[in-house]
């Protein structure tokens, strides 16, 4: 398991492919897993590796909150595709945060080649950023909302769900799906902006309608 060598172009391509349908290294929220992988990268991914660059810039915004992110740091080789071996050679989980420069450094031990590569990538990124408007990362989520029993007013349940409003949240189509014993669940689609709305928030808001809702599950999660 791993990404190969994250300090190489090949390793960054593996990371980019891995993030093509994911917002984070693990789960649906930023975690220590993202910090471990982020700290193993020498410089921002090039602009053509869109998914890796989007993820890199998003995790970079958590610099001040990184210590409070959920999860426990593990070895770099514990993350990534199962069929790729980690060869980065950086055990970031055993280092203190103070020992790591998240944004590159001019340390005297840094080779001229690595320094030149980092500067070229930064220049390439800044040039690309200045020419294009910022891309808003969005996801399409399919939710299963289950009632308590067959006597639950499903029209009222759906009305409660759709009453939830938030910046970056748009409700879509819905349908009732038989579960068994006369019980039907509400299956409803929504589109969210990843930086503004997460599944944890949706679950908390939806299950707050406890007179109608027994539970909520994520049936499908896809990047747009």
Q: Mean of the pLDDT values across residues 70-97? A: 70
Q: Which of 39, 63, 78 is the last residue of a domain?
A: 78
112 belongs to a structural domain: no
Q: Which of 78, 95, 129 is the last residue of a domain?
A: 78
CB-based contacts of 108, cutoff 8 Å, min separation 6: none
| pLDDT at residue 110, as a whole number | 56
218 belongs to a structural domain: yes
| pLDDT at residue 187, as a whole number | 97
> Using alpha carbons only, what angle is made at residue 26 by residues 24 and 32, rounded to the nearest 5 degrees?
85
86 belongs to a structural domain: no
Taking only the tens place, the pLDDT of each residue in 140-178 is: 999 999 999 999 999 999 999 999 999 999 999 999 999
Sheet strands (E) in the chain: 138-147, 169-180, 183-193, 213-223
23 belongs to a structural domain: yes
Q: Residue 198's pLDDT band (boundaries 50, 70, 90)?
A: very high
| pLDDT at residue 114, as a whole number | 79
2 belongs to a structural domain: no
Question: Are 73 and 144 in a shared domain?
Answer: no
Tokens of 146: 């289950």
167 belongs to a structural domain: yes
**Domain region containing 162:** 138-223
pTM of the model: 0.43
Number of folded domains in the chain?
2
Q: What is the CATH number of the domain that holds 151?
A: 3.30.70.60
30 belongs to a structural domain: yes
Q: Is the pLDDT of residue 200 over 60?
A: yes
Cβ atoms 190, 169 nearer than 8 A: yes
Question: Are 150 and 73 in a shared domain?
Answer: no
Q: Residue 130's pLDDT band (boundaries 50, 70, 90)?
A: low
71 belongs to a structural domain: yes
């Amino acid at each position: 398991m791993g990404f190969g060598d994250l300090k190489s172009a090949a390793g960054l391509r593996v990371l980019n492919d891995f993030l093509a349908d994911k917002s984070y290294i693990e789960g649906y929220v930023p975690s220590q897993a993202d910090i471990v992988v982020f700290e193993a990268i020498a410089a921002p991914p090039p602009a053509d590796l869109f998914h890796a660059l989007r993820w890199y810039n998003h995790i970079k915004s958590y610099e001040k909150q990184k210590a409070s992110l959920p999860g426990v740091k593990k070895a770099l080789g514990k993350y990534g595709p199962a069929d790729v071996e980690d060869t980065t050679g950086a055990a970031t989980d055993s280092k203190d945060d103070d020992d790591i420069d998240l944004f590159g450094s001019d340390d005297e031990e840094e080779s001229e080649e690595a320094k030149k590569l980092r500067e070229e990538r930064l220049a390439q990124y800044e040039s690309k950023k200045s020419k294009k408007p910022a891309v808003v990362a969005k996801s399409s989520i399919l939710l299963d909302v289950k009632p308590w029993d067959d006597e639950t007013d499903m029209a009222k349940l759906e009305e409660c769900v759709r009453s939830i409003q938030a910046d970056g949240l748009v409700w879509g189509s819905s349908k009732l799906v038989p579960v068994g014993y006369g019980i039907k669940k509400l299956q409803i689609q929504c589109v969210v902006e990843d930086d503004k709305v997460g599944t944890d928030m949706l679950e908390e808001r939806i299950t707050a309608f406890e007179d109608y809702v027994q539970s909520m599950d994520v049936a499908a999660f896809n990047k747009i």
